[in-house]
Amino acid sequence: MDTASNVMAVAGGDLNDLGTDADLLATAFGLPPDRSMAGLTALLGRHRGSLTRAVSSLLDGEVVLPGLGPRRRRCLVAALQLATRMSQQKISGRGALEHPASCNTYLQHHYRLQTREVFTCLFLNSRHQLLDCRDMFFGTLDSATVYPREVVATALRLGASAVIAAHNHPSGTLTPSAADLRLTERLRSALELLDMRLLDHLVVGQGDYLSMASEGIAGFPGEVLR
Give the chain as a 3 state SS string: CCHHHHHHHHHCCCCCCCCCHHHHHHHHHCCCHHHHHHHHHHHHHHCCCCHHHHHHHHHCCCCCCCCCCHHHHHHHHHHHHHHHHHHHHHHHCCCCCCCCHHHHHHHHHHCCCCCCCEEEEEEECCCCCEEEEEEEEECCCCCCCCCHHHHHHHHHHHCCCEEEEEEECCCCCCCCCHHHHHHHHHHHHHHHCCCCEEEEEEEECCCCEEEHHHHCCCCCCCCCCC
pLDDT at site 144: 78
Q: Residue 212's closest CA among 199, 196, 197, 195?
A: 199
Report pLDDT for 212: 94
Q: Could you read off the pLDDT tens digit of each residue along the chain, which spans 226 residues?
A: 444 444 434 444 555 566 787 787 777 777 777 777 777 788 778 776 666 667 777 777 777 777 777 887 777 777 766 766 665 565 555 555 667 877 887 888 888 778 789 999 999 999 888 899 999 999 876 777 889 999 999 999 999 999 999 999 988 889 999 999 999 999 999 999 999 999 999 999 888 899 999 999 988 887 555 4
Hey, what domains does the chain have and what are their CATH numbers? 96-215 (3.40.140.10)
- Beta partners for 204? 168, 209
pLDDT at residue 14, as a whole number: 58
